[in-house]
Amino acid sequence: MLRALSPRLAPRAAAAARALSIDASSLRGRDLDTLFSLSGAEVRVLLDMAKALKARLRAPGAAPYTPLTGRTLSMVFQKRSTRTRVSAEGGFAALGGHAIFLGSEDVQLGKNETLLDTARVLGRFSDIVLARVFAHADIDVLCRECPAPVINALSDAHHPLQLLADVQTLEERLGPVAGRTLAWVGDGNNILLTLLSAAGALGYNVRYATPRGYAPDAAVVARAAERARAAGVELVATHDPLEAVRGADAVVTDTWVSMGQEDEAAARAAAFAGYRVTEDLARRGGAKPGWVFLHCLPRKQNEVDDEVFYGGRSLVWDEAENRKWTVMAVFLAQLLGGMD
């Protein structure tokens, strides 16, 4: 967590935060479906806004900042959530807006009404729509048909909001991510795909280990690799966790059994033997001495031991908090084109 400022410096820092203006006009009115849709400069401006919002609203004696007063957010959730729901609903409210939660039993999403029709209706009721879905194809439909800007709050292929929070967290501890090496040890899931998708845009290298049969989607990897080559960064795939963590500044993982995969739990536990993130794994693999650990939560015990998860290397709680600041930055970019 950030350290509290001294009483002498706090008013000065609060005034500086209030005075900061950030231009994100290129993002106004646009969807956030994947990070492939954004340039490196556009990803960076979202991170700059998240950092500025955090400094501004956490400063001692900070005044409310409510530029979204009168705006409405519709949140469509096919999957349950803790961090995504609370960060988005609370963040939109903190900016003065009103958020409406629509769970799987609250909206006619693909049941008595087509997804196309729902998208068009929500876009007329709402200023912005956030959706947490199973199939990424549903995000594609929402982005195509909804008149309001759409945010992908998770699909089976991409989780752009999580990556923004991860990078903000890493930069708070390590400084700029450009030139850093991030290691992934675990499933070839949407978090890994998003980590790969932003590597070229932000200039970090990725070394990733997945068991045979659990590799990430080849089409997304190919697209990420093309972007990485153009940026001069390296993406290395392996099935050996020790090879993946070699030279790593950060080790990242996620649950081995995501929502909807519970019937695969036994098979996955066997396939992922040796993939648990531990101090011993990092030491034997040759991670950098100051390596840090990220996990998007919830944890299911198998993928990381307590020594790492609750230890001094773990940034998981800052990472969770930063989900709020990064989604708030996205709201401001899409609706106002920046902050002042």
Per-residue pLDDT of the chain (340 residues; tens, 9 = 90+): 333 444 443 444 444 445 579 999 999 999 999 999 999 999 999 999 999 999 999 999 999 999 999 999 999 999 889 999 999 999 999 999 999 999 877 775 656 788 889 899 999 999 999 999 999 999 999 999 999 999 999 999 999 999 999 999 999 999 999 999 999 999 999 999 999 999 999 999 999 999 999 999 999 999 999 999 999 999 999 999 999 999 999 999 999 877 666 777 788 889 999 999 999 999 999 999 999 999 999 987 899 999 999 999 999 999 999 999 999 999 999 999 999 9
The rounded distance, in Å, linking the Cα atoms of 37 and 250 is: 25
What pLDDT score was predicted for residue 300? 77
Instruction: State the pairing for strand pair 128-132/338-339.
Output: unpaired
- CATH fold match for the domains 22-59+67-159+323-339 and 162-319: yes
What pLDDT is stored for residue 260 in this prediction? Answer: 63
**Structure token digits, residue 47:** 């991170």
Q: Are 280 and 241 a contacting pair, CB within 8 Å?
A: no
- Tell me what pLDDT residue 263 has: 74
Looking at the domain 162-319, which fold is it?
A: Rossmann fold (3.40.50)
- Give CA separation, 157 vs 10, 34, 105, 125, 199, in Å: 42, 9, 24, 28, 16
- CA–CA distance, 319 with 168 (Å, rounded to integer): 8
- Residue 259: its pLDDT value, please? 62
pLDDT at 185: 98
The residue behind tokens 């909804």 is: 146
- Which residues participate in catalysis according to the annotation? 296
For residue 227, count CB atoms less than 10 angstroms from its CB and return exposed for 0-12, middle for 13-18, buried for 19 or more. buried
pLDDT of 14: 46
Residue 276 DSSP SS3:
coil
Handedness of CA 109, 110, 115, 118 (dihedral sign): negative
Nearest to 202 by CA among 248, 173, 233: 233
Task: Report d(CA 157, CA 141) in Å as an integer.
Answer: 15
- If you ran DSSP here, which 8-state letter would residue 100 be given? E
Class of domain 22-59+67-159+323-339: alpha beta
What distance, in Å, lies between the first and last C-alpha atoms of the chain? 25
Q: What is the pLDDT of residue 261?
A: 67
Q: Which residue has the tokens 């930063």?
A: 322
The encoded tokens of residue 276 equal 């648990």
Strands (E), 62-155: 72-77, 98-102, 128-132, 150-154
Domain boundaries, the chain: 22-59+67-159+323-339, 162-319
Q: What is the pLDDT of residue 112?
A: 74
Q: For position 104, what pLDDT does the model report?
A: 77
Q: What is the pLDDT of residue 264?
A: 74
